Amino acid sequence: MLPKYKEVAYEIEKDIINRKYDEGNKLPTVEELMKEFQVSKNTIRSAIDLLVEKGYVYQVQGSGIFLRQNHIEGYINISNMKGLTKDLPDIARKELKNKIIKFEVVKADEDLANKMKCDIGAEVYNVKRLRLLDGKPFSIEDSYFNKNIVVYLNNEIIENSIYSYITEALNYSIGFANKKIYCEKLSNEDAKLIGLSQGENTIIVENTVFLTNGLVFDVSKSIYNYLDTKFIMTTNNI
């Protein structure tokens, strides 16, 4: 059961996506939204704050709540964090397949234990997958999952969506993430997998993902094909 302000934000988000407010590029006034959803002013404002944070709208005091272009065809929103399978409405029409390169249980060394805030020697899943969109190599993802949290994985799960499994089957809720973005030369092995040349630079995203209680459950490094992948993000000046 979602709280009211999230429910309202979700409804308005749907309306925005369905182009209900395209004419005028403007949302109804706060007062009109209060009447529409039968909630107090603060609840509407909390809902709008969420939409501002997501980059859907901006507010101008004394004037209104305006739509903001936050989506560009072909770009991946790097702020999303529900996993590739759920993240990409844009490419969702395409078929996403995961080819397993490696799937094993290893013991965390000092570096990994540090990143995962777990004990040295703790068991972790190491999953390396080649991700294909309509059969075309899209990214190489090398992930580690804390086995104390993600107690079980199998081939079927990792060929589909690990994130769906974690949030729906294991019922964990994902809280936040740190991301590092940089450019790095491809190894011979990775270059072959993703269809580029060895020694060529491409774009890398390292991800450390936390549950809402602050535990690290996933540390990953993803290598993207720079020819096909551009990221977009929105920021607010707070």
Partner DNA sequence: AAGTGGTCTAGACCACCGT
Partner DNA sequence: CGGTGGTCTAGACCACTTC
Q: Please return the burial class of 30, using the count of CB atoms within 10 Å of its CB with bins 0-12, 13-18 and 19+.
A: middle
Say if CB 50 and CB 5 are below 8 A apart: yes
Partner from DNA, a copy of itself, none binding residue 94, C-beta < 5-8 Å depending on class: none
Say if CB 22 and CB 16 are below 8 A apart: no
How far is Cα 164 from Cα 66, in angstroms, rounded to an integer? 33
Q: Which stretch binds a copy of itself (CB under 8 A): 15-23, 106-114, 139-147, 171-179?
A: 171-179
Rank residues 126 and 234 by Cβ distance to a copy of itself and give the closer one.
Answer: 234
Under the binding rule (CB under 7 A), the answer on residue 62 touching DNA is yes
210, 217, 230: which is closest to 73 by C-alpha?
Answer: 230
**Least Å from the CB of residue 155 to a copy of itself:** 27
Under the binding rule (CB under 7 A), the answer on residue 27 touching DNA is yes
**Least Å from the CB of residue 188 to a copy of itself:** 17
Distances 188 to 126, 137, 204, 222 between C-alpha atoms, Å: 20, 15, 16, 16
Under the binding rule (CB under 8 A), the answer on residue 88 touching a copy of itself is no
Rank residues 101 and 149 by Cβ distance to DNA and give the closer one.
Answer: 149
Rank residues 5 and 224 by Cβ distance to DNA and give the closer one.
Answer: 5
How far is Cα 144 from Cα 154, in angstroms, rounded to an integer? 14
**Least Å from the CB of residue 21 to DNA:** 12
Q: Which of 12, 65, 84, 196 binds DNA (CB under 7 A)?
A: 65
Under the binding rule (CB under 7 A), the answer on residue 158 touching DNA is no
